[in-house]
């Protein structure tokens, strides 16, 4: 498997984001086992300490449960929790920037909502 990591974010955090995205997209469902540290290290050609660190962060955020001697599992309620925190983050960090740009370009809210609706129909 070939993965591209960007240079500006620590890899353990990028790995954490990958798992988060997989939970949000439903690829990893609640109760699903995460692949072992060893497997991820081998497949992504990362040192196991990096992988452990990413898993550790997910555990600290209660997104995965550690079952001793067995492995890591996606926690109950992980997706809901992520959706809530991602929505909050969008409104706090991304939306103000978008709004600024919308204002600068003089876009009408009605026009934007139209696009959203058609986008919704398509999905």
Partner 1 sequence: MNIPATDTSGHAVRARGLVKRYPNKLALDRADFDIPTGRIVGLIGPNGSGKTTALKAILGLMQFEGELDVLGFDPRTQRDELMEHVCFIADVAILPRWIRVREAIEFVAGVHPRFDRVRCERFLANTQLKPGMRVREMSKGMIVQLHLALVMAIDARLLVLDEPTLGLDILYRKQFYQRLLEDYFDENKTILVTTHQVEEIEHILTDVMFIRDGKIVLTSEMEQLPNRYTEVMLSADCVDAARALNPLDERSLPFGKVVMLFDGVERTRLEPFGEMRTPGLADLFVATMKGTYA
When asked if residue 64 is in the footprint of partner 1 (CB under 8 A), the reply is no
When asked if residue 47 is in the footprint of partner 1 (CB under 8 A), the reply is yes
When asked if residue 39 is in the footprint of partner 1 (CB under 8 A), the reply is yes
When asked if residue 18 is in the footprint of partner 1 (CB under 8 A), the reply is no
Q: Give the C-alpha distances (Å, rounded to integers) separating 75 from 6, 48, 58, 66, 91.
A: 28, 22, 10, 9, 25
Q: b/e map of 11-21 (b: 16 or more CB within 10 Å)?
A: bbebbbeebbe
| Residue matched to tokens 């990958």 | 18
Exactly one of 49, 91, 98, 112 binds partner 1 (CB under 8 A); which one? 49
Task: Provide the binding-site residues for partner 1, judged by CB under 8 A.
Answer: 5, 7-8, 10-11, 36-39, 41-50, 52-53
């Amino acid at each position: 498997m070939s993965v591209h990591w960007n240079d500006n974010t620590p890899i353990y955090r990028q790995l954490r984001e990958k798992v988060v995205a997989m939970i949000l997209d439903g690829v990893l469902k609640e109760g699903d086992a995460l692949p072992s540290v060893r497997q991820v290290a081998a497949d992504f050609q990362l040192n196991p300490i990096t992988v452990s660190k990413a898993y550790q962060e997910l555990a600290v955020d209660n997104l995965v449960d550690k079952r001793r001697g067995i492995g890591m599992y996606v926690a109950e309620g992980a997706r809901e929790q992520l959706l809530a925190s991602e929505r909050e983050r969008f409104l706090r960090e991304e939306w103000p920037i978008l709004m600024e740009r919308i204002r600068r370009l003089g876009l009408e809210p009605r026009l934007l909502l139209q696009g959203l609706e058609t986008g919704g129909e398509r999905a």
